[in-house]
Amino acid sequence: MRILGIESSCDETAVAIVDGDRQILSNQVLSQITEHEEYGGVVPEIAARSHLSHIDRLVKKAMTEAKIDFRDLNGIAATAGPGLIGGVLVGMMTAKGLSIATGLPFIAINHMEGHALTPRLTGTLDFPYLALLISGGHSQFVSITGISKYSILGTSIDDAVGEAFDKTAKLLDLDFPGGPALEKRAKSGDPTRFALPRPMLGRPNCDLSFSGLKTAVRNVVEKHKGHLDNEAISDLAASFQNAVADCLIDRCNKAVEDFRSIHPTGNTFVIGGGVAANEYIRKKLKNCVNDLGLRFVAPPINLCGDNGAMIAWAGIERLRLGLINKLDFPARPRWPLDAPHSGAHS
């Protein structure tokens, strides 16, 4: 079985071809970073225009690299949400167009489902498992017991982790995209220099919160009237990253407890999403999860950020169960992972 997967929900235009034996035959990811750089964040209309400019060329490139013809495919999958609607529509309409041009089934994928199922693409992993999905748009703990069987144990009540990273990086006047720039600066910083809050610590549920942490960084910057020297910026970056890790670890403890109470046999914890590429956070989470007696699974760095391979893989998982979609499927800018997959038939 081979599926072509399309992802265009934020600022990466991505097309991949994956087969049922977990082989990634092509994985084209075109970042729009340089187009958004001067604005210090993603501009939705620029993103949508850029997706349209590149997506069909990436489809051709993926087909060429995979050395296959459309007749060798079994389905076309695309992100149908959540995300920036303009971009999602470009990818989804490309998939629908390819679907009627080839007669192949169309499979609508929830972007977060792509992240959640990635560890089943990169290795052997049975259900149930617990996932922590952390990106610029989302932060959530998800209990996964099967395809389309997702239950959200906790979520950020304000900013997503990646959003907090990017906003904090902006406060520190670091390059765009802020997350990776902040991680780099934090490497040479002292994580204990600035006392920053750890929101939600010890709360009885699995929810997360990061906006207070970002505000605390702003207060430090304002107290120094914006005149932080290089060393202080690195120390503040490190202190922020450390605080995020502490919050995640505390929340992980709670999430694992909740997950175990529902699934006593569940023994795996996976992370996914762009922030899962942060090595410091990965390491801290791995230690925490291992201490709790669970197996820790993190996808390779190139499959943490947005990509088409995860969408193609989710397509394979769904197609195996006959879960294909009608061609009137609506794009859904807000689409909780545990909401019904409307429009699915069979």
Partner 1 sequence: MSLDKSKKILVFDTSANACSVALWANGKVACSCFQVMSRGHSEALVPMIEEVFEKYDGCDIDVSDLSAIAVTIGPGTFTGIRIGLATARALALPRRLPVIGLTNFDVVFWQAPKVKGSKLVVLETKREDFYVQFFEENNEAVQGPLALTGEEIQTRLPAESITLVGDGAERLDQQLVESGRKPSRLFSDVEPVAMEFAELASKRFDSGVYADPEPLYLRAPSVTVLARK
Question: For residues 306 and 317, which CB has a smaller minimum distance to partner 1 in the complex?
Answer: 306
Rounded CA separation 261/217 (Å): 36
Region from 173-181, 192-200, 253-261, 314-322 binding partner 1, contact rule CB under 8 A: 173-181
Q: Is 270 in contact with 298 (CB distance < 8 Å)?
A: yes
Both tokens of residue 56? 């069909």
CA distances from 27 to 7, 267, 312 (A): 11, 30, 10
In the three-class reduction of DSSP (H, G, I as helix; E, B as strand; rest coil), residue 23 is classed as coil
Q: Does 280 bind partner 1 (CB under 8 A)?
A: no
Cα–Cα distances (Å) from 190 to 185, 216, 223, 285, 321, in that order, read: 10, 17, 19, 20, 50
Nearer to partner 1, 13 or 234 (CB): 13
Within residues 198-257, the interface with partner 1 by CB under 8 A covers: none
HEC readout, 313-337? HHHHHHHHCCCEECCCCCCCCCCCC
Q: With contact defined as beta carbons under 8 Å apart, do 116 and 133 qualify?
A: yes
Which residue lies nearer to partner 1 by CB, 68 or 339?
68
* Interface residue with partner 1, options 129, 150, 176, 240 (CB under 8 A): 176
The nearest distance, CB 264 to partner 1, in angstroms, is 35
Size of the site for partner 1 (CB under 8 A): 60
Q: Which is nearer to partner 1, 43 or 344 (CB)?
A: 43
DSSP string across 263-332: -TT--EEEEESGGGG-HHHHHHHHHHHHHTT-EEE---GGGTSS-HHHHHHHHHHHHHTT-EE-TTPPP-
Instruction: List the interface residues with partner 1, window 83-112 (CB under 8 A).
Output: 83-86, 89-103
* Longest alpha-carbon distance in the chain: 63
Contact by Cβ (8 Å): 134, 128: no
Min dist. Cβ of residue 207 to partner 1 (A): 19
Applying CB under 8 A, the span of 51-59, 219-227, 296-304, 312-320 interacting with partner 1 comes to: 51-59
Min CB(329)–partner 1 separation in Å:
7
Regarding 39 and contact with partner 1 (CB under 8 A), the answer is yes
Instruction: Indicate whether 10 belongs to the interface with partner 1 (CB under 8 A).
Output: yes
Q: What angle do CA 48, 9, 35 make, to 5 degrees?
A: 45
Select from 120-128, 130-138, 143-151, 236-244 the region that touches partner 1 (CB under 8 A): 130-138
Q: Select from 17, 29, 30, 59 the one that contacts partner 1 (CB under 8 A).
A: 59
200: left (phi over 0), alpha (psi -120 to 50) or beta: left
Q: How far is the CB of 245 from partner 1 (least distance, A)?
A: 20
Contact with partner 1 (CB under 8 A) among 123, 146, 322, 330: 330
Asked if 46 interacts with partner 1 (CB under 8 A), we say yes
Task: Point out which residues bind partner 1 (CB under 8 A).
Answer: 9-11, 36, 39-46, 48-49, 52, 55-56, 59-60, 70, 83-86, 89-103, 135-137, 159-160, 162-163, 166-167, 176-179, 274, 306, 326-331
